[in-house]
Each structure stands twice: as structure tokens, then as C-alpha cells.
Structure 1
Amino acid sequence: MPARPVVLVVAPGDENYRGYCLEQVADAYDVVLLTGTEPSWEKPHITDHAVVDPSDPAALLAGGRALAARHDLAGVMTWDEWSVVPTARLARQLGLSTTAPEVMQGCRNKATARSLFARHGVPSAASVSVRTRQEAEAAADRIGYPVVLKPASHAGAIGVLRVDDRDQLTVAYRAAERTAGQGTESTSVLVEEFLDGPEISVECVTYRGATTVVAVNRKTISPPPHFEQLAHSVDADDPLRETVAPAARAAINALGITDGVSHIEMRLVDGRPRLIEVNARLAGDMIGHLVRLATGIDLVRAAADIACDRAPDLTPTRSSAAAIRLLYPDTSGTLTHLTYDGPRPTWLDRLHYQCRPGDQLLLPADGGNLYTGRIGYLITTATTGQQARARADEAARAVTAVLDRTSGPRSAAA
């Protein structure tokens, strides 16, 4: 039996949301890891690993070279937002296929991406990079309220707030500045035009400069001022795909992405797509799994194939729909009780808890984020997106979470 190609995965991430990625890569490739901690859940899927500090470029390069000396690497890949630039640098150093590292830097730095969108005529949002609260106030006055404040180099909507007037700007600027200070590609804050309309993401695959728009994901976002992601759904027959495909391709071309899977966030303003950002990696929140359930297309396998300079198979084998409901409590506090009291029909693909009684949960309204506030998620399937979303809502009503609010701050957020 011929040996399978070996792919190096950088920063495999959290099993709750990225376990399926590593599992699907390992279905077709031998996997070696560069990781910040000793492998645990990853062990059944890997053949070798090196532990390095992922924030240290020299250490990451040395670890990659050590693995390359032990294995004939066919490719290097990551689905970790903070690792896309060093992974591209590592691939280039090893002479393997990659989008240029400087292009990945442009994707990570939202200010750079906005300027490229403007230069290439890609519909986006007015945006100003600022370093002080006074600059933020001046920018908001020029753009016009409401505006959005966000770190220039981050992910997961952390530190992103809608601001309706100057009174709200001081608190929002502090939050964005605090998160921006953790950035690597940029530590500045962006003040941007608020795009009023439904939010979607477009899942794309680019190989040797040619982009295929695979699927559209319809999002449910929390009420302002936060932009917490509450639900996603993918329908193989979504008519929006043809509407937004030109804007998605234009964004990828403007940034210079030549190879890889991209997660492109947009809002539909008066029915027309306006770009929020391009993430040059697989989507989070299990969206890649939703795409596979709905279309049969394996985005994870596509990403691995492209990393190894192999043409991906993007042939749809299904035409259905899937949805994920991200589970949050209605208050911050200590989780004391968590149960699911509903049936387990075949359309309930997954019910996953990422916390247990005794854990502290802190919602965004109380200073938390998606890492501190979520209980878990559930995934449903159906013939249409609308039906998949309805089933997800039905299943979510059967989840009971009881929290002790006396041990944590109260919250009115849901």
C-alpha cells in the first residue's frame, strides 16, 4: 500500500469546534502537528508533533523545519486565524504551496483590506484607523452615527461594538483598544460605517487563482451593541449564492489570495452585498460541517488538498440544508444545572456542551465573549434552510440551563 502524503497542521485549536477539521484531514493524509501544548484529543489523528510557542515566529519556523527533516511534507495548513501569516511564511520557507505571506498579512489587518477594497472598487464600508479616543470621535463625526468600533487585527467579533452616539463612544473605544492591544499585525482601532442589513458569510475555495463560491451561510446576530453570533444556516439551493458571488470573487482578487479556503463576511444593504472582512481560512462555528451536510462538499479536505498543491474536488453530492444554534444562557453566573429534555430525531445531527455545572459563564454584556459565554451548540438538518433553522430553535427550547447569579454579575442579555 503506497504511503499517504504528509500534511503539517499548525495550531489545531479547540476540539469543540475544530476537532472535525483534524479528523477530516486525517481521513486522507498523514498529519503532523505544530502545537502550543502536548497533544491530547489530537493523538488518534496524528503521526508526529512538535510543541512550540505559536507566538514566536523563530520557534515556529524551527519546529516546522524539524518536522520537515523527519517527514516528506506535501503541504502546510492552518485554520487558526492568528496563525495564517506564520503558516504562510513557514510554507514559503519549506518551498511548499501557499498564498503569499504579505497577502495573508493584508487579510489579517482590516485597515489594509479596506484600502485594497477601495482601490479595486469592491463595495465595503467607510473606515478610518485611529490611535486615540479623540481621533475616534472625529472619525465618527465624519462618518456619521451609528458607527462600529473594532480592533484592526482580531477575530470572533471580540472587541467589536456598535456606537449610536458620542456618549457611547468612550466605553466602546476602551473595549476595542484593549482587544487591539493583543494584535500582531496591527494594534490600531477602526471606526467604520455601520452597514444596516442582514449579515451573511460566503464560503469560497481558490486554487491557482480561480475561485469557486461554494456556499452562503445566513447568520443570526445578537442585538446591538454587540455582534455575537447566535446561529448559522446553509442551504445548498440558496439563491443568494449567485447574487453575492461576484463581490466575493472581487474581494479575493483585491486582496491577492491565490490559494486556499476563505470565509468572507458581508452585509446586504438594500439587497446589495457590502464587504465586512475576508478571513483567509476555514470558517469557525462548525460552518464547514454545515456546508458538508448541506452540499456534500468537504471544505476541510479542499483546504488540505490545496495546501499540497492538489486540485480540490468541489462536486456537490447533496442538496439539502443544515443549521447550528449556538447556546447561551440568559444571564452570567455559575452554571448549576444543564439538561436536554427533548427527543433525539435523526435530524438532530449534534448536541454538544462545552461547559459543565460549576463553570462560570460571562456574557459579552458583562465583559465576556464567545469563549466565556457559550454553553455549547446543536446542529440540525432539513431539506431547506428555513426548516433547519426552525428545527434548531425547537431543539434549543428543550435545553435547560440554570445559573446562580449571586456568584457573578447580572445580565439582561440573551
Structure 2
Amino acid sequence: MTTRGLILVEGTGNSLRYVQAAQRLGLHLIILSANPAEYDYLAAEGAEAIRVDTNDLEALIRECSRLRTTYDIAGITSPREAVYATIGKLCRYFGLPGPNPASIERCCDKSAQRQLLAQAGVPIPAYRLAANATHVESAAAEIGLPVILKPAVGSYSSGVRLCSNADEVAEHTTYLLGGAHIWRSSPRILVEEFAKGPHYIAQIMGNDVIGIEAAEFDPPPHFVFRKCTLPALLTDDEHQRIVGVALSCLRALDLGWGPTNIELRWTKRGPVVIEVNPRLAGMPDPQLIQSAYGVDLVTEHIKLAIGDEWNLRKRHSLVAAARFLNPDRDGILDLIEGASQAAAIPGIVEVKLYVEPKTLIVRKGDGGDSIGHVIAASHTRAQTEAILQRAVDLISLSITPSPAFDERNNE
């Protein structure tokens, strides 16, 4: 009998979970990547990685066609936003379940996304699209300081900064347009009103809002997550208003197939949409959802991709929270102590380290700055918070500053 296979085009920090979930479903996972060495650690889990230019649709079609001569390819998917529209095109080519590529492409362009949301009456911050420094300066003046500057296409808060005055606007514009930032598309900057208020994330699969997280950040000017709690502490009215706005986003952007996560701020005028991400959220959100509700979004995403019946039924209801381990300086990570002791605390679900000792730490002010996370879960909010804090207090990082980065550009 031909082995059933699942093709994953590139991966993220959740790649191991995809391998394990695929195995539980009787699937052999094959990763197509521009850098297959990145996934060497998955070979021991039975996955294979093949080198392909994942920006080249024709190359991907050829490789998928070749693999179909050996495997019964049941599905093609990815957790990575940069290739998710390509996933939709591959699925349509091979007649497999998948997202609408046109909808994904529109959503991943933050300017196009905001236009569609505004047309549908979804509350969003005031914004302007700028192509050069002069346009950025005038847009910031029109909107009024402080403003947020961000690339029109991008993810994980890369290149995103809060600018409180004209000098900071000019400085960050120079950074974005001066060659330091790596662009996924032609350079265009979104200049956006800073929506003030608590930050929430609606986690969605299909058209079902599974849960709403509360999120906290490290101090500005960047937006590096510090902590996430699920479920967020909301009144029934607040919960329903966020759910209503989230579902309006899906309709406005023609989404509703597969995973989506929507970031919002609760402002003086209620929920305001900051970002719609048409993909599965990165670590540790799937682990947080499984800890709180017993729903494995990675497994359910794979089931959807292979055309099987999926199930979002909540198996329990706990309060889960995650703290990110964010370094406070650049340099060489000499050692991380206390992780095993933290993991042994009752109520700790996971202590995950992303890097090894002797790694060079260079913070960029985005999602890549975190070097690990800790997840706790219990029946009460207070207990979860106490367990999490106890675990985090046990973990210590030793970083030797590197002279080359003492004058680091915080951009």
C-alpha cells in the first residue's frame, strides 16, 4: 500500500508538532524548504526535508508532482505566512483542500487588508500608505503623533516601531528604507494611528472563534510579546463585541478556511482591529489553546488540509498563561539555568528553549527576540499566575555583552 504523505512547505517553531500530529494521523511528513538543514532535528522524528526554492511556484509544483509518484499525497499545508498564498495555489493545482490564495494575498498586504476592512465598516486605526520619507513625514503629521511605522508586508512585528516624535519617525524611516530591513515585497511603509488600550488576540479556525487571549508587551518602542493569557478576563458584552468584530473581519477579507488569528486593542470606541493574520499563530499559542481547552489546533489544521472531519470541541476549561523569556541585552548567551527545575513545578505545562548556550543574541525588537517560553495552566487565574511566576523566577540567563553590539541599533 502506498504511504500517505503530508507536504509542509517551510515550517516554524511548531514544525515538530506538525511532524508528531501527522504521525498520529498515519501520515509521513515531507518538508519542502529553501534551507532543509534548518529541519535536520526532525529527521529523528521520521520527517524528511527536501531543498526547493519555495518562492518558485513552478518548482514547487514539479517537486510535489515527483513526490506523488512515491506517496499518496493527502494534503499540502504550512504554518508560515510568507508561503500560505502559495499553499492555496498548490492545493488548487492538485485538487486538494486549501485556502483561497487571492484572499490570503490581499490579507497579507496590510494596506489592502485595511482598505477592505474599512469598506466593510470594521473599526481600524487611521492609517496612510507611504513609499518614501517625505510621504511618511506628511502622513505622520496628518494622523498625529505618536504613530506606528510598519512594513506593508511582513510578520512577527518585524520592522514595527512606535514613534513618539518627528525625530523617531525620521530615524525609523531611514532604517526601513536604508537597506537594513529585509523586505518581502517592494518597500512600502504603513503609517498608523497608535490605538491605545488592552491587547487581545482572537484565535479562530474556520468561522469558529475558539478563544480570546489577553496579550502584554515588553516596554515600547517595539512590540515584543511578554505574556499571553487564555481566556482573557472579559465581560460577556466585551467578549461578544470582540467575537462580532472578528467574524466581520473574516467576511470582509473572504477568509473562513483554516486558522486565523486577529489582533485587536480595546480602545475608547471599543474593539479596534490591529492585524488579521490568515494563518495558524506561532508558538506558544497552539500550546496555550491545548492547555486551556484541550483543542490541538495543529492536528485539526492537518485534518482540514487532508479533507478529514475536524473537531474543535473543548475537552476542558482551564486558565493557561505563557511568559516569554526575553533577553535584556545583546551578547553571548553563556548559559540558561533553572529550566528543568521550573518544568518540574506542578501546573507547568511546558518550558521551551529556542536557543542553545553559546548562541549570539542580537535583539531586533520583533518576535525573534524571545529565546523561550514557559506555560502554566490551572483551574483559576490567580493560581496559574502564581505557578507561572514561580517557574519564571527559577530561570536565569547569563549573557556576556559583546563589544560589537554595545552600541546596537535598537531598530
State the TM-score, normalized to the length of structure 2.
Answer: 0.90
* Cα distance in 1 for residues equivalent to 2:241 and 2:351: 33
Instruction: State the SS of the aligned residue for 1:41.
Output: helix
* Cα distance in 1 for residues equivalent to 2:133 and 2:367: 26
The one-letter code of the counterpart of 2:347 is W
* Cα distance in 1 for residues equivalent to 2:4 and 2:272: 40
Of residues 226, 232, 236, the one that matches 2:228 is 232
- Measure how far apart 1:303 and its partner are: 1.1
* Cα distance in 2 for residues equivalent to 1:406 and 1:257: 46
Structure 2 match to 1:316: 314
Q: Say if 2:308 is the partner of 1:290.
A: no
Question: C-alpha offsets along residues 361-409 of structure 1, whole Å, 9 cap, x if unaligned?
Answer: 1223xxx5443x3332211112234532343222112111122225331
For residues 379 and 270 of structure 1, do their structure 2 counterparts lie closer, same or farther at Cα, with a shift above 3 Å needed? same
* Cα distance in 1 for residues equivalent to 2:318 and 2:117: 33
* Cα distance in 1 for residues equivalent to 2:26 and 2:201: 28
Of residues 372, 375, 385, the one that matches 1:379 is 375
Structure 2 match to 1:242: 240
* Cα distance in 1 for residues equivalent to 2:202 and 2:26: 27
Q: Which blocks of at least 5 consecutive residues in structure 1 are unaligned?
A: none
Structure 1 match to 2:301: 303
The one-letter code of the counterpart of 1:86 is T
- Measure how far apart 1:49 and its partner are: 4.9
Structure 1 residues 163-312: aligned runs within 5 Å: 163-177=163-177, 178=179, 181-184=182-185, 186-206=186-206, 211-235=207-231, 239=235, 241-270=239-268, 272-312=270-310
Question: C-alpha offsets along residues 151-191 of structure 1, whole Å, 9 cap, x if unaligned?
Answer: 1111111100011121111111133335765214x531100
User: What percentage of residue pairs aligned between the two structures are identical?
Assistant: 24
* Cα distance in 2 for residues equivalent to 1:395 and 1:75: 39
* Cα distance in 2 for residues equivalent to 1:148 and 1:182: 18
The one-letter code of the counterpart of 1:378 is V
The question of whether the paired residues in 2 share the 8 Å contact of 1:321 and 1:385 is answered with yes
Structure 1 match to 2:110: 110
* Cα distance in 2 for residues equivalent to 1:219 and 1:179: 29
- Measure how far apart 1:46 and its partner are: 4.7
For residues 288 and 406 of structure 1, do their structure 2 counterparts lie closer, same or farther at Cα, with a shift above 3 Å needed? closer
Supply the RMSD in Å over aligned alpha carbons.
2.5
The one-letter code of the counterpart of 1:303 is H
Q: Say if 2:79 is the partner of 1:83.
A: no
The one-letter code of the counterpart of 1:183 is R
Instruction: State the SS of the aligned residue for 1:174.
Output: helix
The question of whether the paired residues in 2 share the 8 Å contact of 1:180 and 1:188 is answered with no
The one-letter code of the counterpart of 1:299 is L
Structure 2 match to 1:9: 8
Instruction: State the SS of the aligned residue for 2:324.
Output: strand
For residues 279 and 406 of structure 1, do their structure 2 counterparts lie closer, same or farther at Cα, with a shift above 3 Å needed? closer
The question of whether the paired residues in 1 share the 8 Å contact of 2:2 and 2:72 is answered with no
Instruction: State the SS of the aligned residue for 1:224.
Output: coil
Structure 2 match to 1:334: 332
Structure 1 residues 36-55: aligned runs within 5 Å: 36=34, 37-38=36-37, 39-46=39-46, 49-55=49-55
The one-letter code of the counterpart of 1:182 is W
Q: Say if 2:20 is the partner of 1:23.
A: yes
Structure 1 match to 2:356: 356
Structure 2 match to 1:154: 154
For residues 385 and 183 of structure 1, do their structure 2 counterparts lie closer, same or farther at Cα, with a shift above 3 Å needed? farther
* Cα distance in 2 for residues equivalent to 1:219 and 1:382: 18
- Measure how far apart 1:108 and its partner are: 1.0
The question of whether the paired residues in 2 share the 8 Å contact of 1:267 and 1:276 is answered with yes
Instruction: State the SS of the aligned residue for 1:67.
Output: helix
The question of whether the paired residues in 2 share the 8 Å contact of 1:151 and 1:179 is answered with no
The one-letter code of the counterpart of 2:119 is R
Instruction: State the SS of the aligned residue for 1:394.
Output: helix
More displaced stretch, 348-357 vs 191-200: 348-357
* Cα distance in 1 for residues equivalent to 2:180 and 2:228: 25
Q: Which blocks of at least 5 consecutive residues in structure 2 are unaligned?
A: none
Of residues 393, 398, 404, the one that matches 1:402 is 398
* Cα distance in 2 for residues equivalent to 1:296 and 1:235: 13
* Cα distance in 1 for residues equivalent to 2:292 and 2:62: 40
The question of whether the paired residues in 1 share the 8 Å contact of 2:2 and 2:71 is answered with no
The question of whether the paired residues in 2 share the 8 Å contact of 1:50 and 1:67 is answered with no
More displaced stretch, 130-139 vs 52-61: 52-61
Question: C-alpha offsets along residues 53-80 of structure 1, whole Å, 9 cap, x if unaligned?
Answer: 2222222222222223332222211101
For residues 277 and 40 of structure 1, do their structure 2 counterparts lie closer, same or farther at Cα, with a shift above 3 Å needed? same
The question of whether the paired residues in 1 share the 8 Å contact of 2:200 and 2:264 is answered with yes
* Cα distance in 1 for residues equivalent to 2:46 and 2:78: 15
The question of whether the paired residues in 2 share the 8 Å contact of 1:236 and 1:319 is answered with no
Q: How many residues matched? A: 401
* Cα distance in 2 for residues equivalent to 1:71 and 1:197: 50
* Cα distance in 1 for residues equivalent to 2:49 and 2:326: 35
The one-letter code of the counterpart of 1:119 is Q
The question of whether the paired residues in 2 share the 8 Å contact of 1:151 and 1:180 is answered with no
- Measure how far apart 1:201 and its partner are: 0.8
State the TM-score, normalized to the length of structure 1.
Answer: 0.89
Instruction: State the SS of the aligned residue for 1:40.
Output: helix
Question: C-alpha offsets along residues 198-255 of structure 1, whole Å, 9 cap, x if unaligned?
Answer: 111111011xxxx110011111112211111112121388655433111111101111
The one-letter code of the counterpart of 1:193 is E
